[in-house]
Amino acid sequence: MQLKLRLYRKDCTLFGWVEYQDEKLRAEEDDSKILARNSKFTISSCFAPVLESNALFVKGHCRLKDNDMFSYTFGSISEAVSVANHIKPLVEEINSTDNSLDNDIEKIL
């Protein structure tokens, strides 16, 4: 597992935090790293965890903000639910990256 998020919705507000993130996914200072994207939503690493209407930024180069919650209030409940439904498959895509070589190296060491 490379990325684990905790998402909640209260009315039109979607909020959560990054429970786990592999360090390989973290953007370097003054850089941005796109982790997964589809036509409706993007998950990236940049500065700190932030949710916007069409993007989620996970842990970035500001380690002091790693445990910050993110939130965004949408115009309707259905819009908030839709965004949550866009995030889930992108996290699955990030986690499906083949790490078999990394796992073999860990077993050898």
Per-residue pLDDT tens for 96-109?
975 544 554 454 44
Q: Containing domain of residue 99, as a range?
A: 3-108
Residue 37 has pLDDT above 50, yes or no: yes
Residue 61 has pLDDT above 90, yes or no: yes
- Give the contacts of 2 (CB within 8 A, at least 6 positions apart): 21, 22, 24, 25, 94, 95, 97, 99
Between vectors from CA 35 to CA 32 and to CA 41, what angle results, nearest 5°?
A: 100
- Give the contacts of 20 (CB within 8 A, at least 6 positions apart): 1, 3, 4
Q: Is 34 helix (H, G, I), strand (E, B) or coil?
A: strand
Average pLDDT over residues 49-71: 97
Residue 5 has pLDDT above 50, yes or no: yes
What's the total number of domains in the chain?
1
CB burial string 51-67: b at 16+ within 10 A, e below = beeebbbbbbbeeeeee
Residue 34 has pLDDT above 90, yes or no: yes
Residue 41 has pLDDT above 70, yes or no: yes
pTM: 0.86
What's the token pair of residue 56? 């989620």
